[in-house]
Amino acid sequence: MTDITVPEGLWGSDDEGVIFAWIYADGARVEAGKLVAELTVEKAQLELLAPASGTLRILAPAETVVRKGTVIGKIEPV
Amino acid sequence: MKPAPQQRIWMYATMLKSRLFDAAVFEAYWEGKKPVFHMGRGPLPGEMHQSFGQEPTAVGVCAHLGPDDAVGAGHRPHHVAIARGVDLERMAAELFGKKTGLSGGRGGHMHLYDNKVSFFCSGIIAEGMGPGAGMALARKMRKQPGIAVAYNGDGAVNQGAFHEVMNMAALWKLPFVCVIEDNKYAVSVTTRESTAVPAWKRAAAYDCPGEYVTGNDPDLIFEAAARAVKHARDGNGPFILELETERLHGHFIGDVAGYRSKDEVAAQKDPIPSYRQRLLDEKVLTVADMEALEAQVRQVVAAAIQFGRDSEYPAPREALERVFA
Amino acid sequence: MVQQASTTGGSARTLTMARAGREAVIAEMRKDPNIFVIGEDIAKLGGVFGTTVGMAEEFGAQRVIDTPISETGFIGIATGAAMAGMRPIVEIAFVDFIGVCFNAIFNFAAKTHYMSGGQFKVPMTMMIGYGGGYNDAAQHSQCLVGTLAHVPGIRIVTPADAHDAKGLMHSCLRDDNLTIWMVHKAIWGLGWLGTALKTAMATVPEEEYTIPFGKARTWREGTDVTLIGYGITVHHSLQAAEKLAAEGISAEVLDLRTIVPLDREAIMKSVARTGRVVVADEDYMNCGVTAEVLATIAERDPQILKAPAVRVANPDVPVPFSRPMENFALPDSDKIAAAAKSTLQS
């Protein structure tokens, strides 16, 4: 099981961000390194890539406010 | 022609007023927009292009202008409006979309109009050129004193309107000063990437004088502007005055300006603290007088912002009014 | 600079309109070296609306070209390149800016094929953002779809979700005419207008597909009244339909999807069934798209109407800045629902 964590380096400031959209639905098969969610911080739109391949489990739905380091989902090994 | 002490004090106080105003606007802008950024939310919605760092270009030129003159600006107008003497309370109210605003809330931050000081601005690039030169033409036709000044960004010089209007201003010897604020960026595109020859050199094409002032220094801008304004006032036609300046923030609030390197941003100098120090060093003001002046400016800005916040919104149906005279 | 991350793997993907449109552009650019993109802030910045994120990195400065602020100039340049065999994509971020370059669009690019008797084609696609509702005031909130639609020689598409955004972009890029792909800013999926509008996001197939011009789309079937819109007013109409359903009124929502050519058959078919119609458009009302829809009904068969048609559009005022006035001027789901109910009162 791999956590999908909002990366520390994804944005510069300590501001909160928001999950703008998940690209895949809960239970979908995803591939490591591919886009899995879009986040916004202020006006900037940021891409979050899948840290592993497997089945996506969404813990925080779209519109959830997040910080860097927040775990927003998991990837279950196939 | 160097600025007299009173003029230097006015320039400093006005730059400070502009800076404090923009700082207060910045605070208000973010209300309601975190953590989810929605441009339409909060007491101060919409786009916001601020003037941090560009204050010298406004005061250095406007120090030479009076009630007979006219000024047009672009989408980054606050410092110019303030230097021109636009009613600060009504300007703040306009930004807040209130009934007491300059346009009753119809225009917003990029469309500030104040006919008491013959000031207008437009959100379309280079749109200040035509109407600005037109105000110069009217003065000439009616044999009235006064000149017109149009503020443009470095990007605006590549609009067709720039060429068209400069050509006519030169042909007809209009009392018109074209001010170009070279803050080096048109959103993300640098002047170097967009402009084949520095814009002030195009003056040769219009057989009018052109000058470039480096340093973002109010005193140097004042001196060059004196030449430009006199040239126009004396009936000798237009003048292109290009002023190096610094855009200290992004293009609009929310622009993280990732296209600029961190080193480049760190190297930028804020013109206001250094001018303050210069006035103290040269004993134009004592520390006590400086602080008293600053307290006064702070108070005026705070009152204007509060007026904007406290004023009422227009009734929705007022949207239908003022389309026609 | 954000790279365009890739999405593959076979699972269904829900994309924003911005990402779906980009996907189509990138796919076509990879296949056809004649396609290049030209406009302001598209290289380093990736476009003010994210239309070209990652493309300068992939295709280079020769194919993703940042221009000076010289719309008349670069639209003319792109047109000439198109006439000489290239297939340019021109970005005009805000439709309001067509003012400075309308001649280049409507007098030359739109008319060259005709005026040359077919000798010269202008296979050029323009990407244009439009619309308001977020206090960007009169010069940055317009739609001007009616203005562009009024001039012959321009095909205009207005996708309302990510699925249609991609399919219509493929169609535009493969078409040999001047095509304009227009997206309302509030449904594009940008980070600066709050959270994503769910109904504008959609499952987007990974493979390429086209959507034919001139084919409207029924988003919701109904029997009592037809709500016609495009772009954002499709979404307002969907919300209105929900409100109406709660009151026992069955509303059909028809998305015009292409403005030129207009799917007049679809309009007639739907209104013939319901007998009542509300046309919603954020553009100015006078002489616009709403008028064209009603003219279609009046010309082909006005008898199908059981009640007068109602238009919900900007009441011919410059878009006001202040929130209460802007809300008053622009269409929303409440106004559309009220209009629908008024058709049922006669």
Helices and strands: H and E segment counts in chain C: 12, 14
List chain C domain ranges. Answer: 15-203, 217-343
pLDDT for residue C118 is more than 80: yes
Chains linked to B by 3 or more Cβ pairs within 8 Å: A, C
Tokens 């954020």 sit on residue:
C282
Q: Which residues, in sequence order, are CB contacts of B184 under 8 Å at separation 6+?
A: B154, B190, B191, B246, B247
For residue B61, give the 3-state DSSP assignment.
helix
Going by C-alpha positions, the residue among C338, C47, C78 that lies closest to residue C183 is: C47
Pair A43, C191: CB distance under 8 Å? yes
Domains of chain A (ranges plus CATH)? 2-76 (2.40.50.100)
Whether B316 maps to a domain, the answer reads no
CB contact under 8 A, C2 and A62: no
Q: Which of residues 64-123 of C touch B (CB under 8 A)?
A: 66-73, 96-97, 99-100
Q: Which residues of B touch A16 (CB under 8 A)?
A: 34-35
Separation between Cα atoms, residue C259 and residue C216, nearest integer Å:
9
CB contact under 8 A, B37 and A16: no
Kindly report, residue by residue over B1-57, the tens digit of the pLDDT.
Answer: 999 999 999 999 999 999 999 999 999 999 999 888 999 999 999 999 999 999 999
- Distance from the Cα of C311 to chain B's closest Cα (Å) equals 17
Residue of C13, C52, C198 to mutate when probing chain A, most A C-beta within 10 A: C13
Q: Grade residue C192 by pLDDT with cuts at 50, 70 and 90.
A: confident
CB contact under 8 A, A18 and B255: no
Pair B145, B68: CB distance under 8 Å? yes
Pair C67, C40: CB distance under 8 Å? yes
Handedness of CA C334, C159, A44, A15 (dihedral sign): positive
CA B284 to chain CA mean position, Å: 25
Instruction: Enter the tokens of residue B175.
Output: 């009392």
Strand ranges (E), A1-78: 2-5, 17-22, 29-30, 35-41, 44-49, 54-58, 65-66, 71-76
CB contact under 8 A, B256 and A43: yes
pLDDT for residue C5 is more than 70: no
Residue from the list A20, A43, A46 with its beta carbon closest to the beta carbon of C196: A20
Q: Count of domains in chain B?
A: 1
CB contact under 8 A, A29 and C10: yes
Separation between Cα atoms, residue C194 and residue B33, nearest integer Å:
9
C210 contacts chain A (CB < 8 A)? no
- Distance from the Cα of B256 to chain A's closest Cα (Å) equals 7
Residue of A11, A42, A47, A63 to mutate when probing chain B, most B C-beta within 10 A: A42
Q: CA-nearest residue of chain A to C196?
A: A20
Q: Which residues of A touch B36 (CB under 8 A)?
A: 18, 40, 63, 65
- Write the DSSP symbol of residue B264: H
Kindly report, residue by residue over A9-41, the tens digit of the pLDDT.
Answer: 888 888 899 999 999 999 999 999 999 999 998
Q: Which of residues 68-127 of C touch A (CB under 8 A)?
A: none
- The DSSP bridge pattern shows strands C277-284 and C310-314 to be parallel
Kindly report, residue by residue over C68-109, the tens digit of the pLDDT.
Answer: 999 999 999 999 999 999 999 999 999 999 999 999 999 999
Pair C92, C104: CB distance under 8 Å? no
Residue of A11, A15, A23 to mutate when probing chain C, most C C-beta within 10 A: A23
Whether B323 maps to a domain, the answer reads no
CATH fold group of domain C217-343? Rossmann fold (3.40.50)
Domain limits for position B134: 5-310
pLDDT for residue C3 is more than 80: no
Kindly report, residue by residue over B147-179, the tens digit of the pLDDT.
Answer: 999 999 999 999 999 999 999 999 999 999 999
* C15-203 against C217-343: fold identical: yes
- Distance from the Cα of A39 to chain B's closest Cα (Å) equals 10
- Distance from the Cα of A44 to chain C's closest Cα (Å) equals 6
CB contact under 8 A, A20 and C10: no
CB contact under 8 A, A17 and B35: yes
Whether B318 maps to a domain, the answer reads no
How many CB pairs (< 8 A) connect A and B? Answer: 26
Separation between Cα atoms, residue B21 and residue B301, nearest integer Å:
6
Whether B321 maps to a domain, the answer reads no
Q: What are phi and psi of C36, to 5 degrees?
A: -135, 160
Between the CA of residue A65 and those of A20, A21, A24, C142, C177, what are the distances in Å?
A: 9, 12, 19, 32, 45
- Distance from the Cα of A16 to chain B's closest Cα (Å) equals 6
Q: Provide the pLDDT for residue C1.
A: 36
Separation between Cα atoms, residue C11 and residue A37, nearest integer Å:
14
Q: CA-nearest residue of chain C to B100?
A: C322
pLDDT for residue C8 is more than 70: no
Q: Which of residues 178-197 of C touch A (CB under 8 A)?
A: 189-192, 195-196
Handedness of CA B216, B219, B222, B226 (dihedral sign): negative
CB environment C223-253: b (16+ within 10 A), e (fewer)? ebbbbbbbbbbbbbbbbbbebbeeeebebbb
- Distance from the Cα of A61 to chain C's closest Cα (Å) equals 12
Q: Which residues, in sequence order, are CB contacts of C84 under 8 Å at separation 6+?
A: none
Q: Provide the pLDDT for residue B258.
A: 84
CB contact under 8 A, C189 and A24: no
Q: Provide the pLDDT for residue C346.
A: 63
Q: Provide the pLDDT for residue C188.
A: 93
Q: Which residues of B touch A40 (CB under 8 A)?
A: 36-37
Whether B325 maps to a domain, the answer reads no
CB environment C64-89: b (16+ within 10 A), e (fewer)? bbbbbbbbbbbbbbbbbbbbeebbbb
Tokens 């890029």 sit on residue:
C173
CB contact under 8 A, C11 and A62: no
CB contact under 8 A, C8 and A34: yes
pLDDT for residue C2 is more than 90: no
Q: Model ipTM?
A: 0.90
Kindly report, residue by residue over B235-244, the tens digit of the pLDDT.
Answer: 999 999 999 9
User: Does domain C15-203 bear CATH number 3.40.640.10?
Assistant: no
Number of neighbouring beta carbons within 10 Å of residue B59: 29
For residue B240, give the 3-state DSSP assignment.
strand
CB environment B257-274: b (16+ within 10 A), e (fewer)? bebbeeeeeeebeebbee
Q: Grade residue C178 by pLDDT with cuts at 50, 70 and 90.
A: very high
Instruction: Catalytic residue, from C113, C140, C184, C235: name it.
Output: C140
C57 contacts chain B (CB < 8 A)? no
* C170 belongs to the catalytic site: no
Sheet arrangement for strand C258-260: C64-66, C35-39, C87-94, C125-130, C179-184, C155-157, C258-260
pLDDT for residue C10 is more than 80: no
CB environment C32-42: b (16+ within 10 A), e (fewer)? eeebbbbbbbb
CATH of the domain at B35: 3.40.50.970
